Amino acid sequence: APGQPLYGLIGKMKAVPGQRDALIAAILEGSAAMPGCLSYVVAKDADDADAIWITEVWDSEASHDASLQLPAVQASIAKAKDLVASMETGVVTTPVGGIGLKA
Amino acid sequence: APGQPLYGLIGKMKAVPGQRDALIAAILEGSAAMPGCLSYVVAKDADDADAIWITEVWDSEASHDASLQLPAVQASIAKAKDLVASMETGVVTTPVGGIGLKA
């Protein structure tokens, strides 16, 4: 909705050793179609073979919260649960601009 | 180029107190048109009034490095220099997928 602040998340997760690719696949599978998601990037940490970063931009916090109920996301969370060793960083942000934000 | 890994950066900066909006404006001004940039999101840290996060995805490290020579980016860096108090986090990533990556 116009005027409503965007909602962003930046998180770092450590995969169970050897399971990073499987974790990435599970996450990407679940995050393909999420209403209100303007940006969702999954990236490998270049220096830590077990770590991944997920950076997200949503048109509102409500859209993000609603996505957690989507069947595909629930399935992905269930699959990812056993592949995640730890959550390391979790930051909430208010995105204010940039490139690559789906209109 | 197809097959070439994407190049990502996640960084946290602290603005000089009271200068976060000016810093954001300077950064956005310089980052509007950068060849090879697939995603560039500037966001306020929701819990720290002086902090901003910049999350970037490039089609290659070379594209990122080349952007630093662009006049608009150089002007933006010159303007931002006096508005940045400290660089806190600087992570290099290899983005592997997601939503909102400019094709």
CA separation, residue B74 to residues A67, A84, B25, B68, B91 (Å) = 39, 40, 14, 6, 22
pLDDT tens track for A29-67 = 999 899 999 999 999 999 999 999 999 999 999 999 999
Q: Which helix (H) or strand (E) holds B66?
A: helix B61-67
B contact test, residue of A93, A94, A101, A102 with most B CBs within 10 A: A93
Contact A67, B66 (CB under 8 A): no
CATH number, position A19:
3.30.70.100
Answer yes or no: is A72 within a domain.
Answer: yes
Answer yes or no: is B103 within a domain.
Answer: no
Phi/psi of residue B5, nearest 5 degrees: -65, 145
For residue B84, give its domain range: 7-93
Number of domains in chain B: 1
ipTM rounded to 2 decimals = 0.92
**Residues from A in contact with B at Cβ < 8 Å:** 6, 8, 10, 24, 28, 31-32, 34, 37-47, 53, 55, 57, 91-102
The answer to whether the Cβ–Cβ distance between B100 and A102 falls below 8 Å is yes
CA distance B35 to chain A (A): 11
